[in-house]
Amino acid sequence: MKKLKIVLVEWIDSESNNEWQFFKDLSQELASSHASGFLVQDNKEFIRLSTSIDYSTESCIGTLLIPKKCILKIKILSTFLKGESQRVPKDAHSK
């Protein structure tokens, strides 16, 4: 399995509502959303993030597909490869 990037993505999201609303009260702005995870797919049309991966079965769970046309920013937080030691900053668990 390849080395995976762990990323933070900001994108323009859709909005829905299942309650009656007055036209004057409808949102006038696009919703911006953020998500982080393992970048398990990246092609010209979309990216797919996963919350968890299993290297032994080369599988993942908890995925989110984001169309590239909606992406505002992608920040690489880290990379991960099975067997590599990951350094955790000393203050990572402090309050």
Summarised one tens digit per residue, pLDDT across range 31-65 is 899 999 999 999 999 999 999 999 889 899 999 99
Q: Which pLDDT score is estimated for 43? A: 97
**Average pLDDT of the residues in 7-13:** 96
Residue 90 has pLDDT above 80, yes or no: no
The DSSP code for 83 is T
Contacts of 6 (CB under 8 A, 6+ apart): 36, 37, 38, 39, 76, 77, 78, 79, 80
- The backbone region for 83, taken as left when phi is positive above 0, alpha when psi lies in -120 to 50, beta otherwise, is left
Taking the mean position of all CA atoms in its chain, how far away is CA 73? 11
Which amino acid, residue 15? E
pLDDT confidence band for 76 (50 / 70 / 90): very high
- For residue 16, the model assigns a pLDDT of 86
